Amino acid sequence: MGGQLRIRIRHGSYSTPRFDYLLVSPEEMAELAEGTGWELRRVIDEGEHVYVGVLERVR
């Protein structure tokens, strides 16, 4: 999938297991959430192409 990274964090001799990290637009995030029981409720956008999507469980 475009925007998907598989990374791990390393510091000295310590490292985390690898994990997936997904970079998507707010529109793509809302589309991915459809039908999963989650909904994109809000986007916190501080400008400079940095934002956070807030997902909420739909009942």
Q: Tell me, what's the pLDDT at 17?
A: 97
The count of domains in the chain is 1
- What is the rounded distance in angstroms from the CA atom of residue 42 to the CA atom of residue 39? 9
Q: From first to last of its 59 residues, what are the pLDDT tens digits of the chain? A: 788 999 999 999 999 999 999 999 999 999 999 999 999 999 999 888 889 999 999 97
In a domain, 7, yes or no: no
Kindly state whether residue 59 falls inside one of the protein's structural domains. yes
- Residue 50: the pLDDT is 87
Report how far apart, in Å, the C-alpha atoms of 7 and of each of 23, 27, 40, 43 are. 13, 24, 25, 24
Residue closest to 24 by CA, chosen among 8, 43, 41, 38: 43
Flag whether 10 is in a domain. no
Q: In this structure, are strands 51-57 and 4-7 parallel, antiparallel, or unpaired?
A: unpaired
Q: Determine the pLDDT at residue 34.
A: 96
Report the pLDDT value the prediction gives residue 25, as an integer from 0 to 100.
92
pLDDT at residue 43, rounded to an integer: 96
